[in-house]
Structure formats: structure tokens, C-alpha cells
Amino acid sequence: MSTTEAAIVLADGTTFEGEAIGADLPGGVAVGEFVFNTVMTGYQEVVSDPSYAGQVITFTSTHIGNYGVTPADDEAPTVHCAGVVVRDLARRRSNQRATGDLDDYLRSHGVGGVAGVDTRRLTRHLRDHGAMPGAFGTAAEQDLRAAAATAQGTDGQDLVARVTAVTTTVHPSTTGANRRIVALDLGIKSTIVRQLVQLGEVHVVPASTTVEDVLSLAPDGVFLSNGPGDPGAVAGVPDTVAGLLGEVPIFGICMGHQMLATALGGTTHKLPFGHHGGNHPVRDISTGRVEITSQNHNYCVDPESLEGIEVTHENLNDGTLEGFRSLRAPAFGIQYHPEAGPGPHESRYLFARFAELMDAGR
């Protein structure tokens, strides 16, 4: 198979060489914020997660693409990430579920990437210097350098507005449960919807939906989804959440957790290189139980900025806040991904906690 040379240039001028994969890029250049993810499987779910909008995903696992892709594993109908970087892209898939390979999948979604990269070196650089913007592609190095010099990260960008639904969709309960849940779509994943419909009927609504329109649906609970970008730049959603507090039980995941914290008066800050992977240890403070969790976020909530809350979960790697509940309203948030798409399933009990909160409010 013939290959085309490609390169990566980060904003600080660091370069990496490789070969082009995925879609042909306009002008041979694409830009985004470079991050790394440590999952060994679940690459399709990662690539299709709307939370990666504007980011170039570097997979630390050496071999990517070996079991192909299938529509059943998509987390969203559209891929929003800016690009993909791998060490070794499998040239032949081997799995009975596969309907295509990763390279063709990237092409079909207009996403480019670079393979053959020293991803260990790139990951070390991002770990030491932080996630940073950059450029990649087949263009001349000077063009890539010029693009990298002006590339933006996720700071200050409301990327939720880019990925949220335009219209409301209704998903019937798969278990016959008669609860009604309104899910505010900040970049919601399909796996989350599959978990919620076990609890009741789910109305997935755009992020711009007003308090009045949410309450007009007479929900038993409101779910705040994951999503991309800087939580401090998301317009309108914190005010909506603030208006819903005390009116209906609320459960937030990832960006939803951050929106709930912001509505309660809290602040967020950016982590050096974020948490992206499927093996982060988190302690449930109430039980002392340690969960291995799936994570994908660049920002976290400052617990010292919050009043009237109880910290429920903490990250054992760096001590950052992973979960809290409000002491003033029936609401709680989790920074990691209990739906686990991909990742371990041991945190899915949190959806049962949401069901209990809804039932208590009836």
C-alpha cells in the first residue's frame, strides 16, 4: 500500500513525522488541540465521542484499528474530533462484528490523521508541557508551522453549541419504567442514552432549551450530559440549571457535572493534560470503594469554590474532584463516565442512584 508523508507541528515548534491516514485535508492542513488517550480498546467510541470536538486524539496504545469498526459502536452520528494520531494503524481488521476498517471510517467522516508517529515521545511531550494546539497534515512544513502558530486550544470556546442537538428526540423506555427524563444535550453519547432508557422515557433536548420548556415536559428528573470545550465559556446552560435546581432532581456527568457546579456558584480550571482513558482510579468516599473509571475531560471543578455540597468521589491519581452532591437540592454530579463507552462498567450503579433520587421526589 502506498503511503503519503505527513507531519505534526505543535504550537511550541516541536515536530513529529509520519504518514497520512483518513480523509484528505483541505490544503493539506488541519488544526486542533492535541491530547492523549490511554485506552487499549474502544477507539471507535473515543473518536465518535462529541466531547473531543476541536481536539486531535493521540492513542498511546501501540496497535489501533485491529478489530475494525461497526455502526453499533458509534457514540454519535457525526465525528467531531479534529484528527487522530496513532503509532501503528492496523491494515487488516479481524472481528466478526466489523463492517469496515478505521481508515475508511475516518475518511467517511472527513477526519484526517497521522500514523507511524512516535506516540510515546508525543505523549511524554504533552504530559510534560500540557495539552497544546498544533497542526498536522501533508502540507509543507512551513505551512504547518504557520498554522500551528495561530491554532487555538479549547480555552474560551463554547464547543457545546457546535455539537448539541438541533431538535428534540424521544427515546421510549426499554424496561417499561414510567419515569420521564429530560436530557440536556451538551454532546450526549449513545451509551448514556442506552443507560437512561432503562430508567424511563428520555427526551433529549438541545442545550439552549429554557427552564420553562424543560418543566413543561413534566420530567421526573433532568440529566446533564457530557460535552466538549471550556465549561467557563458555555453560554446559558448554567443559568438554566440554576433555574431547575430544587424544581426537579438533577444528575450531571462530565460537562454536566461542571455545569451543575457552575450553577451552584463553583468555578472550574484546566488540568495540565486532562484525564483521557479507561483506567483512572476513583474512590467513592461514602463506601471507601475504589472504582476503575473511564474519563475524558480537560477541566475540573474546584471544590473550594462550592458551598452547600458534599464531596462524594475523588481521583486517586491527583486528588481532583470526581463527584459531589448538593445539600440544598436533589442534585449530584460525577466528573467521570459511569456509562463506560468504552471502559469498565463498575460505576453504572450511579444511574440507579439517579432513579432513587427521582423516585424520592415523586
Task: Using the structure block, give the residue that is written with the C-alpha cell 500551528.
Answer: 148
Task: Using the structure block, give the residue that is written with the C-alpha cell 461514602.
Answer: 286
Per the structure block, which three cell numbers stand in for 1? Answer: 500500500
Element (H, E) at 344: none
Of 236, 243, 24, which Cα lies nearest the Cα of 112? 24
DSSP 191-217: HHHHHHTTTEEEEEEETT--HHHHHTT
Is 226 in contact with 189 (CB distance < 8 Å)?
Answer: yes
* Rounded Cα–Cα distance for residues 55 and 36 (Å): 10
Task: Using the structure block, give the residue that is written with the C-alpha cell 432513587.
Answer: 356
Per the residue annotation, which of 125, 275, 276, 337 is the catalytic one?
A: 337
Q: Decide if 337 is catalytic.
A: yes
Q: Give the angle subtended at the CA of 169 by the CAs of 156 and 216, to the nearest 5°.
A: 85
Per the residue annotation, which of 254, 275, 276, 297 is the catalytic one?
A: 254
Per the residue annotation, which of 75, 314, 322, 339 is the catalytic one?
A: 339
DSSP-derived letter for residue 69 is: B
Count the Cβ atoms, other than its own, within 10 Å of residue 109: 17
Is 139 in contact with 32 (CB distance < 8 Å)?
Answer: no
Is 139 in contact with 30 (CB distance < 8 Å)?
Answer: no
Per the structure block, which three cell numbers stand in for 138? Answer: 501533508
Active site residues: 254, 337, 339
